[in-house]
Structure 1
């Protein structure tokens, strides 16, 4: 328990600090957009490349992790799609764009939080495990989210392959996982200078990412949350990790693997959900509310899941 709280306390503190920095105007609002861009396109990819390139993958059940994490995403996405018509009715009353907000917020994980938890609890092994989960999940959730936006949020009925596939194959997190894994599997080592550069860049990723998460929280939107906001919390942070726990235990996994892969399924949704909604005709305001609610709920839910997973 003490170990769990010690690992989560700095994460929560940085998120709160980020919220205070934005709400109190300690830094100009123009700071956050380039900071998020640099984190997503430069700092976090550097961390993932360095972590996967050095990770000892030989003893890890990579295939099992891929199957469990990707399979859970498919199950949740299919369940949400099948429930779309029911969710049009009260009390949910979700139209197409609003439904895509829920869809994204029940399948997209916030990798920033996962990496911070993994590093805090299991060190380099935890970062490597989270990187494996990221490689399994991020391409899939990007593709499924794009297809959902095109199906439910668009009215022109057109589905271009560029819109569906290009965002997936050009995603910096996906590319960095591929590069890191390729270096690892090749048996090569990172040159010392390159490793040092990646370490410096990667060191900036998690603090800046957590500050940006806090800056994105909008407490004012949570005064009267819609029923769908509570549904997003329950589906993403209760049902999905419960399924993950069962699947991982059934696969015979335990220890750090169970903890890291299990908590990956319990994460609040990714801020990428908001960007996708804004660019592709979704309900961006509802996404922002769901993201804020899930992030705040995570302060209570994640420690409970970590205790269930045996991380404390």
Structure 2
């Protein structure tokens, strides 16, 4: 337990530091959107690309990882749809709950994997990103279009275009393509991307902390609590069951389960606001998920015996 906490405390300390810096106005508010943009479009893609380009993908049970990860997303999607009549919330609120059930915070996921599982876990998590990001983006847009307070009907072409524009997905796809060629990264490009990628985790985690809204957390009610239980407890339990059923090795199992137990991504708030979801509830979900994950992720790590 002590080893796990020692590995995870720096990760969550960066989130807390980001929150403090934002609250204390140590940096101007204009800094944080730029930091998020730099992370999303530059440093995290560099990290994902360099990792997947150089990883030993041939030794991984790719089919098992894909089945467990996408199977978890599918089951969670079915479960949240089934519970809609029971929740008794408005359609815009349900669209936010839907996002909260399936969208993971990739920044936290990669940081946790790097801290607990090393390069091997980071590679598996990068594969999870490549699988889950396009899937949950499409599902979230469809949910917001259907239940959100808007008149937008996304077409197949626009959905495909949005997915293909995602820099995290493209970094994974291109990295895997380079990996499959067998040539690897050029001498100068490889080290450059590795150095650039090292900035991804600290900047990304600081931005996560800066985006927390404690006032939104205080407004949280029963549906947000239900969402938190589903995303941080039920989702990783489903993933663990599928991984055991598929016989995944320990590192792959741990990476998939930890990824399934991540808090909701902050990008869900942007989509909720743009497509008529319940943005205040979305802010509550993101903040409560993130705060509670400080407790649940170490518990998952203990149960998985990752250290």
Q: Tell me how far 1:155 sits from its aligned partner.
A: 4.1
Q: Distance in 1 between the 2:56 and 2:274 partners?
A: 39
Q: Distance in 2 between the 1:218 and 1:156 partners?
A: 29
Q: Tell me how far 1:161 sits from its aligned partner.
A: 2.5
Unaligned runs of 5+ in 1: none
| Residue of structure 1 equivalent to 2:210 | 215
CA contact (8 A) 2:263 2:289 kept: yes
Do the aligned partners of residues 81 and 9 (structure 1) sit closer, same or farther apart at CA in structure 2, a change above 3 Å counting? Answer: same
Q: Distance in 1 between the 2:137 and 2:10 partners?
A: 29
Larger deviation, residues 67-76 vs 152-161 = 152-161
1:60-90 deviations in Å (ceiling 9; x for gaps) = 1011101110111011112212332332x2x
SS at structure 2 position matched to 1:259: helix
| Residue of structure 1 equivalent to 2:241 | 246
Give 1:185's match in structure 2, choosing from 176, 180, 183: 180
Q: Distance in 2 between the 1:291 and 1:52 partners?
A: 28
CA contact (8 A) 2:145 2:152 kept: yes
| Residue of structure 1 equivalent to 2:49 | 49
| Residue of structure 2 equivalent to 1:111 | 106
- Residues 116-127 of structure 1: matches in 2 within 5 Å? 116-127=111-122
| Residue of structure 1 equivalent to 2:59 | 59
Q: Distance in 1 between the 2:39 and 2:248 partners?
A: 32
Structure 1 runs of 4+ off > 4 angstroms? Answer: none
| Residue of structure 2 equivalent to 1:268 | 263
SS at structure 1 position matched to 2:84: coil
Q: Distance in 2 between the 1:306 and 1:161 partners?
A: 39
Q: Distance in 2 between the 1:123 and 1:176 partners?
A: 20
Tell me how many residue pairs correspond in the alignment: 307
| Residue of structure 1 equivalent to 2:8 | 8
1:150-180 deviations in Å (ceiling 9; x for gaps) = 1111443634224432211211111111000
CA contact (8 A) 2:11 2:205 kept: yes
Q: Distance in 2 between the 1:306 and 1:26 partners?
A: 34
| Residue of structure 2 equivalent to 1:149 | 144
| Residue of structure 2 equivalent to 1:99 | 94
CA contact (8 A) 1:100 1:148 kept: yes
Unaligned runs of 5+ in 2: none
Q: Distance in 1 between the 2:174 and 2:8 partners?
A: 29
CA RMSD of aligned residues (A): 1.3
Q: Distance in 1 between the 2:264 and 2:153 partners?
A: 27
TM-score (norm 2): 0.96
Do the aligned partners of residues 180 and 101 (structure 1) sit closer, same or farther apart at CA in structure 2, a change above 3 Å counting? Answer: same
CA contact (8 A) 1:147 1:164 kept: no
